[in-house]
């Protein structure tokens, strides 16, 4: 079930309060429109009725798509340094719903679900795009490491991250944006999909990183550098 809770927000522009339906969970099988709104980057945007200012609420929700075998816990961008604790609590929630603590039917469902933890709308959207394009998200993170290594002259600001923003339907080329710590876009780049072969063609060379990246559901290069 998709869940929304009415919440009083303080408008960041005029500081007056208004009520907003804050999303706590998305069931993409029953509400494909919510999945589409995440892809369109329109989800959880609020317009203040007093000053018409707009604000986008940070995600703090669970996401379930049985059809695509996806389960995700999404947290606000500024919580990424707490990923170890949040990953553990997300895994706990997943196991209660679909693991040892659940009924046989739910456990069977859980076996077909890939659990992921993300921080920010961009990271959630990236996982949806990668799935639609048939990209393995571990290989995608390894490709980012290759790209980041080549982008160090001049150095990127501390905490900058790469996010997949699109996949060309004809060539399969991959569009990325570089975001700073606050999520502001610094630049964008397009890389040929063939570059992924440098990762997928050498599983032994990447084995150690693959192990590190999939040590938990937070499958993201940030697990190598943040919250240490
Ligand atoms: Zn306002």
Give residue 151's pLDDT. 84
* Structure token digits, residue 25: 């969970």
Report residue 158's pLDDT band, with 50, 70 and 90 as the boundaries: confident
Give residue 152's pLDDT. 77
How far apart CA 36 and CA 34 sit, in angstroms, is 5
Give residue 118's pLDDT. 98
**C-alpha of residue 6 to centroid of ligand 1, in Å:** 17
Is the per-residue pLDDT at 228 higher than 80? no
Report residue 159's pLDDT band, with 50, 70 and 90 as the boundaries: confident
Give residue 155's pLDDT. 79
Is the per-residue pLDDT at 25 higher than 90? yes
Q: What is the mean pLDDT of residues 130-134?
A: 95
Distance of CA 142 to the CA centre of its chain: 16
**C-alpha of residue 44 to centroid of ligand 1, in Å:** 16
**C-alpha of residue 160 to centroid of ligand 1, in Å:** 30
Range in 4-8, 98-102, 193-197, 209-213 the model is least confident about? 98-102
How far apart CA 70 and CA 75 sit, in angstroms, is 16
Report residue 150's pLDDT band, with 50, 70 and 90 as the boundaries: confident
Rounded to the nearest 5 degrees, what angle is found at the Cα of 181, between the Cα atoms of 9 and 85? 75
Give residue 1's pLDDT. 82
**C-alpha of residue 54 to centroid of ligand 1, in Å:** 8
**C-alpha of residue 57 to centroid of ligand 1, in Å:** 14
How far apart CA 71 and CA 168 sit, in angstroms, is 25
Is the per-residue pLDDT at 133 higher than 90? yes
Give residue 54's pLDDT. 92
Is the per-residue pLDDT at 153 higher than 90? no
**C-alpha of residue 179 to centroid of ligand 1, in Å:** 27
Residue identified by tokens 């706990």 is: 92
Q: What is the mean pLDDT of residues 59-84?
A: 97
**C-alpha of residue 26 to centroid of ligand 1, in Å:** 27
């Amino acid at each position: 079930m998709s869940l929304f809770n009415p919440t009083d927000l303080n408008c960041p522009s005029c500081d007056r309060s208004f009520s907003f339906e804050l999303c706590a969970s998305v069931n993409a099988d029953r509400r494909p429109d919510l999945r589409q709104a995440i892809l369109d980057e329109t989800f959880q945007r609020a317009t203040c009725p007093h000053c018409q200012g707009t604000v986008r609420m940070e995600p703090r929700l669970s996401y379930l798509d049985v059809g695509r075998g996806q389960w995700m816990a999404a947290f606000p961008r500024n919580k990424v340094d707490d990923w170890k604790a949040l990953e553990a609590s997300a895994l706990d929630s997943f196991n209660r719903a679909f693991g040892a603590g659940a009924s046989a039917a739910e456990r069977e469902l859980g076996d077909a679900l890939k659990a992921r933890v993300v921080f920010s709308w961009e990271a959630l959207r990236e996982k949806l795009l990668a799935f639609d394009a048939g990209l393995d998200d571990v290989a995608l993170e390894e490709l980012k490491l290759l790209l980041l290594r080549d982008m160090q002259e001049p150095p990127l600001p501390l905490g900058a991250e790469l996010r997949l923003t699109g996949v060309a339907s004809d060539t399969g080329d991959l569009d990325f944006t570089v975001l700073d710590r606050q999520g502001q876009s610094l630049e964008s780049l397009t890389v040929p999909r063939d570059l992924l072969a440098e990762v997928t063609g050498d599983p032994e060379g990447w084995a150690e990183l693959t192990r590190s990246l999939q040590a938990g559901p937070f499958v993201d290069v940030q697990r190598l550098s943040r919250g240490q």
